[in-house]
Amino acid sequence: MKKIVNAKVITPYRFLEGYEVAYENGKIVKIDKNIDGCDEIIDARGMMLSPGFIDLHVHGGGGYSFVEESDKAIRHALDEVVRHGVTAVMPSHMVPVKALGDIFEEIMKENTGPEILGMHSECIDWIYIYGEPCNEGKTVPDYDVAVCEKMLEEIPVLKRVGIDPCIKGAADITRYFVSKGVTVSISHCGPADYEQVMRCVEAGANSATHLYTGMFGFYRDENTGERFPGLIEDCLTEPDLYAEVIGNGKHLTGKMLDLIYQNKGVNGMYLVTDAASRKEPFEKGEPMVVPNRLPNRISIKTMAPLDYIVQQTYKCSNIPLIDVIRMATLTPAQVINVDDHKGKICEGYDADFVLLDDKLCVKGVIARGKTCKSLD
């Protein structure tokens, strides 16, 4: 049995000082003062001990990739994200890919180190991204439950998927995916109206993918002049929709983060990177801002890791530190229903820890009991 001492423990409901955390066989076994019977002692030297970060939306970043169909590449990606405090990850691709699912499935059999929680696909096929009227004039077919059934047969590790509520059949496939243990997010959609969004929420959709990005806000009836809430407002006001947030200070400035927090609170928003699979810096003269497929919209390129997202969210906004940490740990665990063993420093939970200094820099990482980054 090992124990961590001299840490300011973030549970993440509260701070605990003067407590030690003991773990064995990948699980937390005791949280108390003066724990006896430990073979190894890790001195945190007064640093903060957070639950391991959980990233539910990451494609790669900094030259590593979760979308390359290679066991070596995926393992390298895991090694990289864990250096930034991520002990559990849901690798993301725009569409489900069986070859990737097969690689993830093999890695998911391992029981120590950083964990793949399943595949996340932002849509179920390229043709559905943004749907009408944004798909270059092409006719977008209705969603088909039979297609989704075949998809899950071929890729059983698919655990999160994005849907467009504007497309006919969205509520039906949402209901199907949820019945099979796959969480559903509203993602990359056209100008969805309130009824379309709420039918999917009632069917089980539980979040909006990267809030404010790839979606529309309020709309107006051209005949009556009345204004109605769009997906942005629906997410901010509907308690059962989590807000997925890229808190890097650029996609969403501090004031925007404050606005989301005031509406959703710590239980209703979670941090992600949405990091792309390429290296920084950009080529000389390469623009950070690029056109988006949605009319009159732009996108910002991002490769920032999750520790940077945590730092910037805290730095740019007025959100308390303990809530920022919770948005990177417990809340994402709740989003995908793994909060019975992840997201907390609690007896019986996975031994996933991040040691942070006063600037929120990652100084040590333990994933399911395995030391992945030794204390500096």
Task: List pLDDT tens digits, range 237-272.
Answer: 999 999 999 998 888 999 999 999 999 999 999 999
Residue 284 pLDDT > 70 = no
Confidence of residue 281 (pLDDT cuts 50, 70, 90): very low
Q: What is the pLDDT of residue 352?
A: 98
Give CA angle at 339 (313, 181), nearest 5°.
Answer: 110
**Dist CA 129 CA 15 (whole Å):** 43
**Dist CA 213 CA 85 (whole Å):** 25
Percent of the chain with pLDDT over 90: 78
Contact at 8 Å (CB) between 87 and 54? yes
Burial of 289 (0-12, 13-18, 19+ CB in 10 A): exposed
**Dist CA 94 CA 59 (whole Å):** 9
The CA distances from residue 157 to 99, 100, 114, 239, in Å, are: 11, 10, 17, 28
Contact at 8 Å (CB) between 271 and 306? yes
**Which tokens sit at 142?**
């209705």
Burial string for 219-236 (b: 16+ CB within 10 Å, else e) reads: beeeeeeeeebbbbbbbb
Alpha-carbon 55 to chain mean position: 4
**Dist CA 258 CA 181 (whole Å):** 32
From 219, 225, 205, 220, select the one nearest 165 (Cα to Cα): 205
**Which amino acid is located at 18 in the chain?**
G
**Dist CA 220 CA 217 (whole Å):** 10
Mean pLDDT of the region 56-65: 86
- Average pLDDT along the chain: 91
What DSSP character marks residue 350? B
SS3 276: coil
Contacts (Cβ under 8 Å, ≥6 apart) of 238: 197, 198, 201
**Dist CA 18 CA 215 (whole Å):** 46
DSSP H or E stretch at residue 327:
helix 321-327
Q: For 101-112, write each residue's pLDDT tens digit.
A: 999 999 999 999
Q: How many CB atoms lie within 10 A of CB 324?
A: 25
Q: For 126-165, write each residue's pLDDT tens digit.
A: 888 765 445 566 678 999 999 999 999 999 999 999 999 9
What DSSP character marks residue 105? H
**Dist CA 137 CA 150 (whole Å):** 28
Q: What is the pLDDT of residue 331?
A: 98
**Dist CA 230 CA 191 (whole Å):** 7
Mean pLDDT of the region 166-177: 96
Q: What is the pLDDT of residue 122?
A: 94
Q: What is the pLDDT of residue 235?
A: 96
**Which amino acid is located at 242 in the chain?**
Y
- Phi/psi for 21 (5° steps) reads -125, 120
From 151, 154, 158, 164, select the one nearest 92 (Cα to Cα): 158
Helices (H) and strands (E) in the chain, counts: 11, 25
**Dist CA 24 CA 6 (whole Å):** 19
Comparing 57-61, 291-295, 331-335, the range with the smallest average pLDDT is 291-295
**Which tokens sit at 85?**
């405090």
Mean pLDDT of the region 161-188: 96
- Phi/psi for 40 (5° steps) reads -140, 140
From 357, 337, 339, select the one nearest 348 (Cα to Cα): 339
Q: What is the pLDDT of residue 293?
A: 57
Quote the pTM value. 0.93
Contact at 8 Å (CB) between 271 and 302? no
Burial of 286 (0-12, 13-18, 19+ CB in 10 A): exposed
